[in-house]
Structure 1
Amino acid sequence: MPPVIAVEGLGVRFRRNRGARRSFKDLFSTRQRRVRPDDFWALRNVSFDVQPGEAIGVVGRNGQGKSTLLKLVAGVMLPDEGTVTVRDGVAPLIEITGGFVDDLTVRDNVYLTAGLHGMTRSQIDERFGEIIDFAEIGDFVDTPYKHLSSGMKVRIAFSVISQLEEPVLLVDEVLAVGDRGFREKCYRRIEELLAGGRTLFFVSHNEKDLRRFCERGLYLDKGALVLDGPIGDVLELYNSDYGT
């Protein structure tokens, strides 16, 4: 069976100097960009495959390329080297409230966000009640999104994204701001999706969560893939390297 995610020789380069940005022409140039002294590689020579139904945990310290890798898999960032191939689609739980419009109501945001992710209006109509019930914000359906608390925003965003039918679920510790009860509710939902055959690509610093969901791990350090193996072995090496 072909992999649902195939990453080959992946590399992403950034500038340390925020004032030195790529020009518009650079973004579309087919020529190799000149390496500058203030360039650094957020990821370099990273390769791995993910099979359908696998649950992968990505570990590493802050700034080692984990979130960048997730954005590449999600298709919101392009690599400077190598390729990322994703079969079918992804349900991205990264920067989870991105794309919601402050001045629109919760109701309008549900239709807008779900529609942008490919759901038809009839599908949204059918699932709207379930989305609102799961988020536990029925009294705020016609409230402008900007008036919701941060926790309520996460609730409605997770509820919408978790209704998508794409085979790959991307999660980047977005539920850390939620209360414990709702976070556990979301985790049970993720387990349901995994039991239904979904693939999970999960970035987290929480060892308990990684062991709960994942069988396999990727350990990134200084932009390189240090170890690809069973999640227990990956966490053991990571903890050994950094004394946690």
Structure 2
Amino acid sequence: MAVIEARGLCLDFPYYHIGARSLKKRLMGKSRLHTDPSNRIVVTALRNLDFRIGTGDRVALVGPNGAGKTTLLRTLAGVYEPVAGSLTVTGQIGALIDVAAGMDNESTGRENVRLRGLYRGLTDAECDRLAEEVAEFAGLGDFFDVPIRTYSAGMGVRLSFAMATAMQPQVLLMDEWFLAGDAAFMAKAEERLARLVGGADIMVVATHDFAVVRRWCNRAIRLEGGMILADGPVEEVLGGLEATA
């Protein structure tokens, strides 16, 4: 059974671009900046988050830019390690967060797919089948066998989307980059995404698009300043956001 549970979850990032002492003093008094035990200036990205997401939940992370939505997604995916509190994620994770995540720019599209398959424990034969399936869906033609550093942004999205959605995860984490792409590709991608969302035990998506939230989700978590301001049914949380817009 898939479960995500956070208790007092906190995440800080070191801030390396503050030099003047007067600027430090001014900012420290009215922002998310503070000093850590090593006396470094850090910015609080996530602050004392408490939530539990269980099987069947389809959760939208909503809020303004800089609220902490993508940071929380990356923390759930294991990219960032909390500095305080606890986080438990049970279930195989599939992440559509960063187009370039886990990619080797000097390797071809095919080689990247095979590496991903081997990492997931697939056999050589299964990796070959996976590569052919990804190649067909991504529609990259001969570019599938050239280094991905030569790809355009759109080609990178198509390859990443095809790779990320080729294997069904229990916990699906998505940022809104998956909406990028040309119209023809997105029409095909939407059907595939619907199957992926339907097959996942848990889905968490960070987005500004309320239509996506209303279509895919049964719950919303509103973040602002790295804190949770609301957590509940979609219409209840979105209603509060729309009232303040």
Q: TM-score, normalised by structure 2?
A: 0.85
Residue 71 (structure 1) aligns with: 74
Aligned residues: 230
Q: Please identify, of 113-122 and 47-56, the stretch whose mean Cα deviation from structure 2 is larger.
A: 113-122
Residue 114 (structure 1) aligns with: 117
Deviations, residues 197-226 of structure 1 (Å, cap 9, x unaligned): 432110011111111111110000111111
Amino acid at match of 2:142: D
Amino acid at match of 2:11: V
**1:161 Cα offset (Å):** 1.1
Instruction: Measure, in 2, the Cα distance between the counterparts of 1:37 and 1:104.
Output: 38
Gaps of 5+ in 2: 20-35
Alignment counterpart, residue 199 of structure 1, candidates 195, 202, 212 = 202
Question: Which residues in structure 2 correspond to 1:100-111 (within 5 Å)?
Answer: 100-111=103-114
Question: Which residues in structure 2 correspond to 1:35-50 (within 5 Å)?
Answer: 36=39, 38-50=41-53
Instruction: Measure, in 2, the Cα distance between the counterparts of 1:157 and 1:91.
Output: 12
**1:144 Cα offset (Å):** 2.1
Seen in structure 2, the aligned counterparts of structure 1 residues 15 and 141 have a Cα distance that, compared at 3 Å, is: closer
Alignment of 1:160 onto 2:163:
yes
Alignment of 1:130 onto 2:129:
no
Residue 23 (structure 2) aligns with: none
Question: Which residues in structure 2 correspond to 1:1-244 (within 5 Å)?
Answer: 4-18=3-17, 33-34=36-37, 36=39, 38-241=41-244, 243=245
**1:77 Cα offset (Å):** 0.7
Residue 29 (structure 1) aligns with: none
Amino acid at match of 1:39: V
Q: Please identify, of 112-121 and 2-11, the stretch whose mean Cα deviation from structure 2 is larger.
A: 112-121
Q: Secondary structure at the match of 1:141?
A: helix
Seen in structure 2, the aligned counterparts of structure 1 residues 158 and 114 have a Cα distance that, compared at 3 Å, is: farther
- Identity among equivalent positions (%) equals 33
- Work out whether residues 168 and 199 of structure 2, in 8 Å CA contact, stay in contact via their aligned partners in 1: no
